[in-house]
């Protein structure tokens, strides 16, 4: 089955179909990449490949088992990854709204505030005062926060030091910053279960890492035990060596969430998540090839040799005509991908023949057809035979 010889059958709606599916698959791949569910994607590919293999080669038992347990596995995945699935649909739902918000107001910190924030964090680390500061990115984070007190005050060093003063009631929670405003303090964040990264970190580190696993926010931590400044982003937690390194991290963060307008589209298409975009297109094309292109009907004809079995012991076949019969068949294109002419057999049961038998009628019961292939016509449907009594 040559796809390129049938390229004229591919219409504009087919290209749009592949394009829309590529976009959907791309967002799913990004979701897998950003969450702890990433390893599930590999499992899906393996199981899907085994299922297609079993279906193509008519492995009845394996196919039946996959059918029986598919629903159970799907429900289990939904239960186990309900938080990640909810996050994915939330991102899809707010994407358009969030774009309008970002067009109206960019999220950024002026250089003066960045310097102040860096200086304050390293003051905290030097004095071993615990602090947790969240810089909101493009994702909405409100549903991940618990408690918290609305403030909406201008970002300043005295205000931060007042909030995180060990004698302050709200010093144990997180401060949420949008632009150069402290919108909330004493907020509680979801705790990460990635104990491998937490190492010697405490509750603040677990909270920072937990929020970074669910959103694109940048979390800054000052440790009261070790006097170390750390950052958490995209599910990664690491210590910061000095103020210059932290400044580079902050500047890189705001460049990422506010790319230059003249470069935004080109960078998004050709640089941002390029591997995932290519993979999404390949998967979408493969799905279209199997599901859509493979479902289109195909009509074929073959000349098949006539075979006989269980001929009576007292007669022998002296001759028959014709020796080949034209078999016209049809089926979904996918059923012909691995089809071979040898899979098509015409066998006539001669157990009730006598020496007076002159002809045999061919019907669909005489054909051995692969699964998914349907008989359209047999030409001719009568075979002339010449039988002789054995001497």
- CATH number of the domain residue 140 falls in: 3.40.1700.10
Number of Cβ within 10 Å of residue 2's Cβ equals 6
Residues 117, 60 within the same domain:
no
Residues 78, 177 within the same domain:
no
Residues 300, 376 within the same domain:
yes
The CATH number assigned to the domain holding 317 equals 2.170.120.30
Residues 216, 327 within the same domain:
no
Rounded to an integer, what distance in angstroms lies between the CA atom of residue 217 and that of residue 192? 14
Closest CA to 115 of 152, 157, 151, 154: 157
Rounded to an integer, what distance in angstroms lies between the CA atom of residue 210 and that of residue 370? 53
Location of structure tokens 């000052």: 222
Residues 136, 224 within the same domain:
yes
Residues 273, 345 within the same domain:
no
DSSP assignment of 348-376: EE-TT--TT--EEE--GGGEE--TTEEEE
Instruction: Note the pTM of the prediction, 2 decimals.
Output: 0.55
Q: Give me 2's structure tokens.
A: 């040559």
Residues 60, 121 within the same domain:
no
Number of Cβ within 10 Å of residue 103's Cβ equals 9
Per the structure, how many domains does the chain have?
3
Domain that holds residue 16: 4-102+265-293
Helix, strand, or coil here: 7?
Answer: helix
Walk along the chain (391 residues) and give the pLDDT tens digit of each residue.
455 555 666 778 888 888 888 888 887 787 777 655 566 667 777 877 787 777 667 677 887 787 777 777 777 777 766 666 676 666 666 555 555 544 545 566 788 889 999 999 999 999 999 999 999 988 778 888 898 899 988 999 999 999 999 888 878 889 999 888 999 999 999 998 888 788 777 899 999 999 998 888 999 999 988 889 999 998 899 999 999 999 999 999 988 877 665 555 555 566 677 888 888 899 888 888 877 877 788 888 989 898 888 887 777 788 888 989 999 989 888 777 777 777 788 888 888 887 777 888 888 888 878 777 888 988 988 888 888 787 6
Residues 141, 235 within the same domain:
yes
Residues 168, 184 within the same domain:
yes
Q: Taking CA 275 as the corner, what is the angle to CA 273 and CA 281, rounded to the nearest 5 degrees?
A: 105
Rounded to an integer, what distance in angstroms lies between the CA atom of residue 237 and that of residue 235? 7
Residues 11, 58 within the same domain:
yes
Residues 228, 156 within the same domain:
yes
Closest CA to 216 of 99, 137, 109: 137
């Amino acid at each position: 089955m040559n796809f390129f010889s049938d390229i004229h059958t591919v219409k504009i709606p087919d290209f749009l179909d592949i394009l829309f599916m590529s976009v959907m698959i791309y967002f799913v791949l990004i979701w897998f990449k950003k969450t702890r569910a990433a390893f599930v994607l590999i499992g899906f590919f393996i199981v899907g490949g085994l299922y297609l293999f079993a279906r193509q080669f008519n492995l009845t038992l394996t196919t039946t088992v996959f059918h029986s347990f598919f629903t159970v596995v799907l429900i289990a995945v939904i239960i186990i990854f309900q938080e990640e699935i909810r996050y994915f649909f939330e991102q899809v739902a707010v994407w358009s709204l969030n774009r309008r918000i970002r067009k109206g107001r960019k999220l950024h910190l002026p250089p003066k505030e960045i310097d102040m924030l860096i200086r304050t964090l390293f003051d905290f680390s030097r004095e071993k005062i615990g602090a947790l500061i969240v810089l909101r990115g493009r994702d909405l984070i409100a549903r991940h926060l618990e408690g918290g007190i609305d403030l909406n005050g201008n970002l300043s060093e005295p205000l931060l030091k007042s909030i995180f003063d060990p004698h302050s009631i709200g010093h144990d929670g997180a401060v949420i910053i949008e632009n150069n405003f402290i919108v909330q303090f004493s907020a509680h964040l979801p705790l990460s279960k990635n104990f491998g990264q937490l190492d010697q970190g405490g509750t603040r580190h677990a909270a920072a890492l937990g929020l970074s696993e669910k959103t694109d926010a940048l979390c800054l931590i000052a440790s009261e035990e070790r006097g170390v400044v750390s950052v958490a982003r995209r599910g990664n937690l690491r210590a910061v060596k000095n103020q210059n390194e932290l400044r580079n991290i902050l500047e890189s963060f705001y460049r990422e969430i506010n790319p230059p307008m003249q470069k935004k589209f080109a960078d998004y298409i050709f640089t941002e998540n390029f591997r995932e975009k290519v993979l999404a297109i390949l998967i979408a094309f493969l799905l279209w090839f199997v599901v859509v292109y493979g479902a289109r009907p195909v009509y074929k004809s073959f000349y098949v040799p006539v075979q006989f079995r269980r001929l009576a012991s007292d007669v022998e076949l002296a001759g028959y005509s014709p020796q080949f019969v034209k078999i016209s068949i049809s089926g979904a294109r996918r059923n012909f991908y691995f089809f071979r002419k040898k899979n098509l057999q015409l066998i006539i049961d001669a157990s009730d023949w006598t020496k007076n038998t002159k002809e045999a009628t061919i019907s669909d019961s005489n054909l051995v057809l692969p699964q998914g292939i349907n008989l359209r016509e047999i030409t001719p449907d009568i075979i002339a035979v010449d039988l002789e009594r054995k001497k």
